[in-house]
Amino acid sequence: MSTWWSGKRVTVTGGRGFLGSSLVQMIEEAGGRVATFSSSEYNLTQQADVARMYHDQRPEIVIHLAARVGGIGANQDNPGSFFYENAIMGIEVMEQARQTGVSKFVQIGTVCAYPKFARIPFSEDELWNGYPEETNAPYGLAKKMLLVQAQAYRQQYGFNAIYLLPVNLYGPGDSIDLRNSHVIPALIRKCLEAKRAGAPTVDVWGTGSATREFLYVDDAARGIVLAAERYDKPDPVNLGSSEEISIRDLVTLIAQLTGFKGEIVFDATKPDGQPRRKLNVERAMREFGFTSETPFQIGLKNTIDWFSRKTAVPSVA
């Protein structure tokens, strides 16, 4: 591991969340001195709290992960607050990083910023070629404005901000609350609960035909670490695995791995979200040597095992 992080003061906003926990551990293992906090200690939607955070922590490096996130349902229920909170947090956290002389700023974007019908595989150059899928557009666009901010600050102030676009993440530590969970934990939960209750069916949102790509949380954290160390350019960079899977195949796999043997019923009255997702991941490889390493089945198995332990449902398969 490189010595780049040794002794550096690093603030990871959202550092106690799903991705943040893995990232913070990795940076600490590399010798970084990391500060994390909850939103009740510093509410980053409040300008005064952002100022207090910079005053107290005096970071040299900031990795801005804090965000209000969720699956399709949470995005549909909260388009206004998802837009406002993600935009205002990012704008203030980056602006005050510039004012306080932060030497490297890493902004985490999202695959939800891509146009609904971007060409497959999504290349970073396609980002502005259309409007995002409607259910996640307010979230995706709020975060996309932070790419504009990063590029404008580099141009005007020479501020070293980079912008990464992770695809859908999965792994141990994800939210298991059905109100705001993403597709993989939601499906694991449904299959395990149905199996435990002896239920004959599991209901799944949408037609099953949409496709998604997933990146294991520890791989995403490693990609962020590598980018922070090695990448200093304005162009956004995808972080993904470039492996596309339909929701139908995903549910079948999760049913197999959890041991659910009943019927899977697709509810086509519910939205599919974006029709297809698959990233071009060449830029991350070329610019900072990142590739995904965790095979999907292994990552899923780890996630199911973690989930089973956490919910005290007996592990299987």
Residues 6+ apart with CB under 8 A from 64: 13, 14, 89, 90, 93, 94, 105, 106, 107, 108, 146
Q: In angstroms, give the least distance from the CB of 87 to ligand NAP.
A: 12
> What single letter denotes the amino acid at residue 274?
Q
Is 139 known to be catalytic? yes
Taking CB under 6 A as the criterion, which residues in 229-268 touch ligand NAP?
Answer: none
The answer to whether 57 contacts ligand NAP (rule: CB under 6 A) is no
Burial of 101 (0-12, 13-18, 19+ CB in 10 A): exposed
Question: Which residue's C-beta sits nearest to ligand NAP?
Answer: 17
Backbone angle region of 31, left / alpha / beta, with phi > 0 → left and psi within -120 to 50 → alpha: left
Catalytic residue among 139, 153, 163, 216: 139
The count of residues interacting with ligand NAP (CB under 6 A) is 27
The answer to whether 172 contacts ligand NAP (rule: CB under 6 A) is no
Mark the segment that binds ligand NAP (CB under 6 A) among 38-46, 188-196, 264-272, 290-298: 38-46
- For 112, the token pair is 């939800």
Contacting residue, 34, 35, 44, 106, with ligand NAP by CB under 6 A:
44
- For 173, the token pair is 């530590």
Peptide bond into 275 cis (omega under 30): no
The answer to whether 17 contacts ligand NAP (rule: CB under 6 A) is yes
SS3 call for 175: coil
Q: C-alpha distances in angstroms, 212 versus 45, 55, 73, 278?
A: 31, 41, 16, 7
Size of the chain in residues:
317
Contact 237, 165 (CB under 8 A): yes
Q: In angstroms, give the least distance from the CB of 45 to ligand NAP.
A: 5
Contacting residue, 12, 27, 65, 304, with ligand NAP by CB under 6 A:
65
Q: Binding string, 180-219, against ligand NAP, x = CB under 6 A?
A: --x-------------------------------------
Contacting residue, 166, 206, 208, 273, with ligand NAP by CB under 6 A:
166
Q: Which residues bind ligand NAP (CB under 6 A)?
A: 13-14, 16-20, 38-39, 42-45, 65-69, 85, 89, 108, 110-111, 166, 168-169, 182
Question: Which residues are part of the catalytic machinery?
Answer: 139
